[in-house]
């Protein structure tokens, strides 16, 4: 709901963690539309997400609400974030030549299916500039070579900083980011890649998979980190295939799954359903 507010919080596992949140919302005359929580017993860590609607007869003051709740949360050593569901997340998309994920994201952005405010598209190739222009989105062509990588990444960071982006999406951006850039984008950069069992590395992975007769094709969306394609996982998709799928069919199937999986991960992120927890994530989905 567009007039919902979303409260996310986490704290050590203690008696009364749900009560401190819901009681405060009741006292503040806020109606709970959705609530989900998870207690990681081995780690003794508690997570909660609440979507609520303030009383329409009152003027909701975000700063006053935050200040008042902070007093209650302090007793539980609780960290929290309050955000409006009406806000669209400022986003920069990184892409290379493959256009399937970018096309899908821009369609969902244009039709309002994803709460994004796409500020810029960055690419190391010029190929997709017409698509960006059609959507009236600035396109930054930043070619890169091993010798110019540091300079090019500095240019990427400048685009991110200038747009004040909260989310960076690697929509099939076929460059390995440096550890420095990974650290700078920690927790706000989402990548998508194919997932095959067994894992096929190198060129033409779907052709390798065909030669082995794979029966499953999938994709993984995750936050980036310094371990290539091994960051905390947000969403995964998988579908069955069989001997009738030739390499081109596997590629097409993989593209479809990548689009859906990336969109799902972005939706979880923009709806504040994702908690980073050690080397993994907690997803409080519906």
pLDDT at 2: 59
Decide: 137 and 121 in contact? Cβ < 8 Å. yes
Question: At which residue do the structure tokens 């390798």 appear?
Answer: 208
Q: Does residue 45 have a pLDDT over 60?
A: yes
Ranges 26-30, 58-62, 104-108, 260-264: which has the least confidence: 58-62
pLDDT tens, position by position, 133-169:
999 999 999 999 999 999 999 999 999 999 999 999 9
Task: Answer whether 5-84 and 89-283 agree in fold.
Answer: no
Segment 26-52 mean pLDDT: 96
Confidence (pTM): 0.94
Which of the 8 DSSP states describes residue 74?
A: H
Gap between the Cα atoms of 161 and 185, Å rounded: 11
Please check whether the domain covering 89-283 is classified as CATH 3.40.50.170. yes
Q: Residue with structure tokens 């017409």? A: 130
- pLDDT over 70 (residue 227): yes
Q: Which of 183-192, 223-232, 267-276 has the lowest mean pLDDT?
A: 223-232
Active site annotation includes 229: yes
How far is 51 from 35, CA to CA, in rounded Å? 6
Tokens 């997932």 belong to 195
Q: Is the pLDDT of residue 101 over 90?
A: yes
Q: How do strand 189-196 and strand 116-123 relate by DSSP bridges? A: unpaired
Which one of the listed residues 40, 99, 117, 229 is annotated catalytic?
229
**Per-residue confidence (pLDDT) for residue 285, from 0 to 100:** 84
**Percent of the chain surpassing pLDDT 70:** 99
pLDDT band for 201, please (50, 70, 90 cuts): confident
Beta-bridge partners for 95: 123
Name the fold adopted by 5-84: Alpha-Beta Plaits (3.30.70)
Q: What is the pLDDT of residue 187?
A: 93
pLDDT digits (tens, 9 = 90+) for 229-284: 689 999 999 999 999 999 999 999 999 999 999 999 999 999 999 999 988 999 99
Q: What is the pLDDT of residues 1-22, one digit of tens each?
A: 457 999 999 999 999 999 999 9
- The Cα–Cα gap between 190 and 103 comes to 17
For the beta sheet containing 5-12, the strands, ordered from the edge strand earlier in sequence to the opposite edge, are 30-40, 45-54, 5-12, 79-84
The token duo for 138 is 């600035």
Beta bridge partners of 5: 52, 84
The CA distance from 276 to 274, in Å, is: 7
Q: Domain spans of the chain?
A: 5-84, 89-283
């Amino acid at each position: 709901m567009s007039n919902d507010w979303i409260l996310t919080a986490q704290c050590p596992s203690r008696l009364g963690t749900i009560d401190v949140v819901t009681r405060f919302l009741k006292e503040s005359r806020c109606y709970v539309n959705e609530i989900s929580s998870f207690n990681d017993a081995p780690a003794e860590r508690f997570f909660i997400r609440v979507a609520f609607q303030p009383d329409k007869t009152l003027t909701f003051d975000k700063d006053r609400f935050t200040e008042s709740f902070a007093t209650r949360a302090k007793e539980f050593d609780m960290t929290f974030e309050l955000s409006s569901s009406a806000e669209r997340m400022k986003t920069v998309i990184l892409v290379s030549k493959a256009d399937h994920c970018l096309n899908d994201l821009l369609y969902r952005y244009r039709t309002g299916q994803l709460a994004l405010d796409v500020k810029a598209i960055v690419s190391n190739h010029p190929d997709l500039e017409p698509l960006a222009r059609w959507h009236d989105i600035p396109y930054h062509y930043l070619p890169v070579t091993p010798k110019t990588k540091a300079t090019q990444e500095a240019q990427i960071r400048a685009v991110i900083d200038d747009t004040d982006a909260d989310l960076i999406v690697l929509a099939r951006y076929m460059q390995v980011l440096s550890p420095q850039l990974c650290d700078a984008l920690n927790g706000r950069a989402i990548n998508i890649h194919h997932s095959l069992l067994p894992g096929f590395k190198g060129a033409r992975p779907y052709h390798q998979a065909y030669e082995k007769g794979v029966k499953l094709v999938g994709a993984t969306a995750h936050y980036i980190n310094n371990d290539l394609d091994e960051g905390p996982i947000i969403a995964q998709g998988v579908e069955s295939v069989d001997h009738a799928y030739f390499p081109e069919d596997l590629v097409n199937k993989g593209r479809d799954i990548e689009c859906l999986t990336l969109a799902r991960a972005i939706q979880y992120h923009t709806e504040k359903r994702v908690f980073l927890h050690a080397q993994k994530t907690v997803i409080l989905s519906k």
